Amino acid sequence: MSERASSPVGTAEPASGASPTATPTPTASPTERPGRGAALVHRLVVVRELGILAALLLLVVATVVANPRFLSGQNIRDLLISASILTVLAAGQTVVIITRNVDLSVGSTLGLSAYATGTLLVNGTPVPLAVLAGVAVGALCGLLNGVIVAVAKVPSLVVTLGTLYAIRGLDSLWASQSGRLQINAADLPSGFKAIAGARVLGVPVLFLVAVAVVVLVGHHLRSYRSGRELYGIGSDPDAARLSGIPVGRRVLAAFVVSGALAGLAGVMYAARFQTLDATAGTGQELFVVAAAVVGGVAIFGGSGSVYGAALGALLLTTIGAALPQLGLNPFWREAAVGALILAAIVLDRSLSLRLARRLRGRNLRGS
Amino acid sequence: MPGAAVLALEDVSKSFGAVAALRGARLELRAGEAHALVGENGAGKSTLVKILAGVHAPDAGRVLLDGQPVHLDGPAAARAAGIAVIYQEPTLFPDLSVAENIFMGRQPLGGGRRIDRKELHARCAALFERLGVRLDPERPARGLSIADQQMVEIAKALSFDARVLVMDEPTAALSGVEVERLFTVARALRDGGAAVLFISHRFEEVFDLCDRITVMRDGQWVATDDAADLTVDQVVRLMVGRDVSSLFPKQDVEPGEVVLSVRGLTRRGVFSDVSFDVRAGEIVALAGLVGAGRSEVVRAVFGVDAYDEGSVEVAGRPLRPGRPAAAMAAGVALVPEDRRQQGLVMELSVERNATLTRRWQLARGGLLSSRAERATAAEWSTKLQVKAGKLADPVSTLSGGNQQKVVLAKWLSTNPRVLIVDEPTRGIDVGTKAEVHRLLSQLAADGLAVVMVSSELPEVLGMADRVLVMHEGRLVDDIPRARADEGSVMLAATGQGRTTAVAP
C-alpha cells in the first residue's frame, strides 16, 4: 500500500506522560497516520469512477469494432448534446439525493420549462430573457417541492411524486388552453435554434454548459460550508439538527437548485429538439436517478459526487446510442440500464464493505 | 475560585405528552467550577441537558445566562451563547471525515469563503494532540469504535472554547486512560474560567472531578452541595430516596455441566485463539480495556460476525458459524452493547420489541395478534419491573435503564441456556443497576450460563465467578473469584500479567 506523504500535519505524538500504559501493538498498526484514512476513501472514489470510465471505454471500443463510424465527429457531438441534458438533470438530482431526499418531478419540470420557453420565444421575447424565464420556472417548481418537504415535513418521495403529476398536468392544461399543442421549429427564432449547433473549438456549446454546471455544483459541494452541510444532513439528519445546521433551509435550497437545473435542462431540450409539446421529458426522472446511482451517489444520502453522476449520465446515454450500432434491438437499452444499476449497487456494496474492514482493522489501539 | 453564575435554570418544567420529565428543576453553574448532576435514569437529567442545548424549550421556568433570561430556540442559539454539549450517544456524520465532523458549520475559510482544508486538518490535529488522541483527521467517522466516537465528540466540544461545557455521561465508553485525559482537559477548561457540567453514574469520577453536586429525583431538584461535604452513600440515598441494598448480590451456585464451549476462536486482525468454557449456573466476566476485542468475541460466538478459525459448542453440539438464528435455536441469547442500534427497534412499541424474538411462536396460523404480543410483553415487563407509560408506546420514550430491561425481556422470553450480556449496565442508574445485577444472579442460580462483558471493574469483581481477561485480541488470564481483585485484573488487561494462553 502506498503511503501518502502529502499530508500537511505530522503524526501527533501524545504529550509525554499522557498515556503511561500505551504499548505498541505488534500485529496491527496501532496508530492512525494522518492521510491514510483519506487515502483509503479517495482510492475508493477513484476506483468507483474509474469503473464507470472503464465500462464506458469498453462500450465505445466494442461499438467502434462493430461500426467504425460510431466515432465520427458528428456522432460524438450528437452523443455529447444528448448527454448534456441528462447531465444537468443528474447534477441537480445529486444535490437533492445527497440530503437523503429525491426529486421525482424533474421530468415534468423540464417539460413545463421547455414549453414556457418555447411559448415566450414564439411571442417574441428576446432569447436571453426567455432562457432566464425557463430557469426561473424550474426554480419555482423546485421551491414548491422544497417548501412542502421542509415545512410540512412530508417525505420527498411522496411530495415529488405528487408534483410530478401536478406539474405535468399544468403543462398539458396550458398547452390545450393556449391552442398551441405543439410548438414547431418554424415558430422559433433562428437565434435560439442556433444554440443547438453552436460550437466552441468544435465542442458543442450545450455540452460546455453541462460541464460548467457540473464543475460549479461539484466545487460548491466540496468546498463550501453549505455544501458540506448538505452531506451532513444526508449522513445523519438528527446529528445535523443537533449541530445547529439549518436543515430545513438547506433542503429547501437543494430542491430549488434541482428545480432550476431542471428548468435549464428544459431550455436545452427546447434548443435541441425545437419541437415542443406537453409530453417533453416524460419519464426522465427515473433515468436521472439511475444516472446518479450508477455514478455512485448513495440513494440514502451523505456520499457521492456530481462528477460521478455526470459520468453515469454519459454512460447511460452512450448505451442508448451504441446498442443500435451493435446491431441490437434498441429495446435492450432498458435492460442494459437495469443491469448497470444492479452492477453499480453490487460494486458500491462490496467496496464499502472492504472500506469498512480496512477502517475496522485500524481501530485496534495501543492504549 | 468559582465566580458568578454563568448559566442557571429556575423552576424549569417540561412535559412530553402525559409524562412530566421535569417538574421545577433547578441548576446553577458558576464560572470556574466543575459541577456534577446525578440522579437515577428517568430523573430528567437528559431532558435538562437538552434544554441547555436548545433542543427542547421549557414549558415553564427560566433559563438565565449571566443573570439575564434567554430563549435558546435551537442548538445554533445555544452554541452562539457558548454552550457546548457532549451527548450520551455520539451524534456524528458517518460519511464525513473526522475533521469535518468536528468543525461542521465552523470550518476555517480561505479565499472566496472556500473551506481551507489544510487549516481544517491542522486544527483538528492540534485538538487531538491536546487530547492525546491518535486519530487520523481525514478518515471518515464511519467504523470508529464508540470510544473513538466519543473522543471526536469531546474534541468537537473543545473546539468551541465554550463558556459552559455539558458532558452527558461521556465516560461510559472510555477506558481509564481516556477518562483521565478527558478530565485533564475538563480541569484545564475549568481553571480557565469555564463552567463544566458533568453527568455520570460513576461516583469515583464525580468526586474526582467535581466541586459541587446537584442531585435530581423524578424530574425534581433534590439538593446541591459541595462535593467535599458529601459521601457516596449520602449521594446514593439522595438519588433513590432510600437505602440501596448491596450493589452486587451474586449468589453462590454450584456450577453444573459445561454449556458453552469455545475453542481456538480466531478472527484475523481482531482476536485470535480464544478458548473458554462456561458452566450452567456460572457467571463468567470478560474483562479488558476498550478495544481488546471482547464484544467482537461474543458477537462471533452468537454468529453476528463470522470467524476464521475455531469452533463453538453449546451443550456438546457444534454451532454453525455466522448464523444468529442457529444460535438462538440452540438456546443462546445476546444482549448487545449498543441497545439503541443493535438491541431495540427504537420506533416500535415496547410490546413489539419485547416479543420480536418470539414472533413465530406467538403467531397463530402465521398471523401475529397484538393481544398475544401484549400478554407476553405484560408478563415480562411485570417480572422485570419495566417502567413504561403504556406498552404500546415507542420504546424510544423509555429511559435507558428501562430500555435495557426491554432488551433483557426480549431475550429471556426465549428461555435461553446461555445468556451473553455486553455491558449490561452501561448508562444505567444505581437503582436499576442493582435490579439488573439481582436479575442476572437469579438467572444464574436457576441454571443459566451467563457470559458478561463489562468495563466496570466493581461490577466484574462483584458479579463474576470467573474473570476472563482479554488484551489486544487474546485471552491472557482466567482468574477465579477468590483471586480476582482490581490489581490482578488490571495487570492482565494492560498486558503486564500472565501472558501464556489459558487452558480452559
Chain B positions in Cβ-Cβ contact with residue A40 (cut-off 8 Å): 139
- Cross-chain Cβ contact A27/B92 below 8 Å: no
**Is the CB of residue B35 less than 8 Å from the CB of residue B211?**
yes
Predicted confidence (pLDDT) at residue B502 exceeds the cutoff of 60: no
DSSP 8-class letter at B334: E
pLDDT at A31 exceeding the cut of 50: no
Nearest Cα of chain A lies from the Cα of B93 at a distance, in angstroms, of 5
Q: Tell me how close the Cα of B124 comes to any Cα of chain A, in angstroms.
A: 10
Q: Say yes or no to pLDDT of B219 above 50.
A: yes
User: What is the 3 state secondary structure string of B439-500?
Assistant: HHHHHHHCCCEEEEECCCHHHHHHHCCEEEEEECCEEEEEEECCCCCHHHHHHHHCCCCCCC
One fold for B5-92+144-241 and B257-494 = yes
Asked if residue A329 is part of any domain, the answer here is yes
A30 domain residue, yes or no? no
Q: How confident is the model at residue B43 (pLDDT cuts 50, 70, 90)?
A: confident
C-alpha cell read off for B208: 474526582
> Which one has a higher pLDDT value, A134 or B471?
A134
φ, ψ (nearest 5 deg) of residue B31: -60, 135
Three cell numbers at B417?
441456556
Encode pLDDT of A297-347 as tens digits. 888 888 889 999 999 999 999 988 888 888 777 777 788 888 888 888 788
Q: What is the pLDDT of residue B279?
A: 93
Q: What's the pLDDT at A16?
A: 38
Q: Look up the CATH number of the domain holding residue A123.
A: 1.10.3470
Range(s) of the domain holding residue A191:
38-349
User: Residue A217 has what pLDDT?
Assistant: 96
Beta bridge partners of B5: B30
* pLDDT at residue number B205: 86
Q: Is B504 exposed, middle or buried (0-12, 13-18, 19+ CB in 10 A)?
A: middle
Characterize the bridge pairing of strands B309-314 and B258-267: antiparallel
Max alpha carbon distance in chain B (Å)?
A: 74
DSSP string, B60-115: EEEEEETTEEE---SHHHHHHTTEEEE-SS----TTSBHHHHHHTT---B-GGG-B
Of A245, A364, A365, the CB nearest to B105: A245
Residue A58 CB neighbours (<10 A): 10
Residue in chain A closest to B146 (alpha carbons) equals A363
Confidence of residue B19 (pLDDT cuts 50, 70, 90): low
Domain ranges of chain B: 5-92+144-241, 257-494
Q: Is A155 helix (H, G, I), strand (E, B) or coil?
A: coil
- Is A4 a domain residue? no
Q: Which residue has the higher pLDDT, B358 or A224?
A: A224
Question: How many distinct structural domains can be found in chain A?
Answer: 1
For residue A106, being part of any structural domain is answered with: yes
Identify the architecture of domain B257-494 in CATH: 3-Layer(aba) Sandwich (3.40)
Q: How far apart are CA A359 and CA B14, in angstroms?
A: 42
B491 in A contact zone (CB under 8 Å): no
Selected residue with higher pLDDT from B279 and B149 = B279
pLDDT at A15 over 60: no
Contacts of A361 in chain B (CB under 8 A): 269-270
How many other C-beta atoms lie within 10 A of the C-beta of residue B245?
8
Q: What is the pLDDT of residues B413-432, one digit of tens each?
A: 888 899 999 988 876 766 77
| A 185-224: CB under 8 A from B | 223-224
d(CA A116, CA A125): 11
* Of B283, B264, B239, nearest in space to B321 by CA: B264
Q: Cβ contacts of residue A71 below 8 Å, gap of 6+?
A: A60, A64
Whether B125 has its CB under 8 Å from any CB of chain A: the answer is yes
pLDDT given at position B24: 87
Q: Does A48 touch chain B (CB under 8 A)?
A: no
Helix (H, G, I), strand (E, B) or coil at B242: coil
Minimum distance, in Å, between the CA of residue B431 and any CA atom of chain A: 30
| Residue B34 confidence (pLDDT) above 50 | yes
Looking at the domain assignment, is residue A261 inside a domain?
A: yes
Strand B474-480 relative to strand B164-168, pairing: unpaired
Residue A231 distance to chain B (closest CA, Å): 8
Distance between CA atoms of residues A251 and A247, nearest Å: 6
pLDDT at A366 over 50: no
Dihedral sign for Cα A14, A19, A20, A25, please.
negative
CB–CB of B93 and A28 under 8 A? Answer: no
One-letter amino acid identity for B85? V
Q: Which of residues 181-220 of B touch A (CB under 8 A)?
A: 181, 184
Mean pLDDT for all residues in chain A? 83
We find that the CATH architecture of domain B5-92+144-241 is 3-Layer(aba) Sandwich (3.40)
Q: What ipTM is given for this predicted complex?
A: 0.78
Q: Are strands B83-86 and B5-16 parallel, antiparallel or unpaired?
A: unpaired
